[in-house]
Amino acid sequence: MKQLLPGLLFAALWASASVATKFGVQSVHPLILANVRFFIAGLGMLLFAYGIQRTKNAWPVGVEWRQLTIFALLNTTIYLGTFVLALKQVSAGIGSLSTATNPLFITLLSAIWLRRMPRISEIVGLFLGLIGVGIATYPLLGNSYATLEGLLILLGGMISVSAATVYYARIKWRLPDLVINGWQVLIGGILLLPFTLFFADFKTSHYDERFWLSVLWLILPVSVAALQLWFYLVRQDAVRASLWLFLCPIFGFLYSYLLMGEPITVYTIVGTGLVIGGLYLGRK
């Protein structure tokens, strides 16, 4: 139960990012959406940590600035920057599906970087989860719009966030999770800003109600709540934490059904069963 509730809540919140982003990029350029989200979320978390909580000894010093910058580059600038760009060219369902590839990359990178060899049960759980996700998403992939460029952008983002997860797990952080999260999101936004100013189309952007509702959802439930849960899970074990990502496409189907009218088929039910089986083996 110590990891069950945080894991389920994380997957439910993280999966909602695809739908929220898909709504947001209908109003503004993807990079504008990303930068507005990063700056508001990062500053908000830091103001809360330093101004309201008044956390002591929580200011980054020395090598911690470099660690935060590397983490921000991988986890926020590259991953979330490419994610919003890709969702301009692929469906929200495929965006949610892409998160299921993370456990494979995390397991491989952990074996190389952390010398943390996966157990047999974890390997079997990973493959069961991947098969389950493939079965559940088969009808969606057959009917979804996607471009080769969009899929390649998604792939690059998945590799980047997997590397960020392993990098985070190998460092003994002194700072509280909220401070780490606030700084990495803010620094990630600063690193992304030059690309936004150069490539984004500001003239065709509309800062309407749909845009601000999308930003609000991406900040509070996703950037704040979901990432805090993710940091907690990764601190326990990076590979086992990554298994919760298998549930993201399943929650994604539920959101698509409720918000977009997409049906839940027998493929979804069978795939869900395999995903749960994979999670059980991986966490046993």
pLDDT(10) > 90: yes
Residue 69 structure tokens: 């910058």
pLDDT at site 257: 80
- SS3 for 33? helix
> Between 217 and 237, where is the model more confident?
217
Element housing 120 (H / E): helix 120-143
Q: In the numeric block, which tokens belong to residue 178?
A: 């909220």
Q: Where residue 206 falls among pLDDT bands split at 50, 70, 90?
A: very high
- Please, which residues have CB within 8 angstroms of residue 27's CB and are 6 or more apart in sequence? 33, 205, 206, 207, 208, 210, 211, 214
Mean pLDDT across 179-187: 95
Structure tokens at 251: 């929650």
The whole-number pLDDT of residue 183 equals: 96
- Distance, in Å, from the CA atom of 109 to the CA atom of 111, rounded to the nearest integer, reads 5
Largest CA distance in the chain: 54
Q: What pLDDT does residue 284 have? A: 62
Q: Which of 118, 116, 110, 126 is nearest to 278 (CA)?
A: 126
Alpha-carbon distance 154 to 93, whole Å? 12
pLDDT at position 1 is 60
Which residue from 281, 280, 279, 255 is spatially nearest to 268, judged by alpha carbons? 255
Domain count, the chain: 1
- How far is Cα 106 from Cα 7, in angstroms, rounded to an integer? 17
Q: Please give the model's pTM, rounded to 2 decimal places.
A: 0.82
List CB contacts of 5: < 8 A, sequence separation 6 or more: none
Lowest mean pLDDT among 29-38, 76-85, 153-162, 249-258: 249-258
Domain that holds residue 259: 4-283
Specify the pLDDT at position 61. Answer: 93
Q: How far apart are CA 218 and CA 13, in angstroms?
A: 9
Distance from chain centroid for Cα 75: 8
Helical packing angle, 227-236 and 4-24, nearest 10°:
140
Query: What does the mean pLDDT of the chain come to?
Result: 86
Between vectors from CA 188 to CA 13 and to CA 22, what angle results, nearest 5°?
Answer: 45
Rounded mean pLDDT of 152-172? 90
Q: Percent of the chain, pLDDT > 90?
A: 39
**In the predicted structure, residue 246 carries a pLDDT above the cut 70:** yes
Rounded to an integer, what distance in angstroms lies between the CA atom of residue 38 and that of residue 182? 9
Alpha-carbon distances of 66 from 71, 157, 184, 220, 273, rounded to whole Å: 9, 21, 11, 26, 42
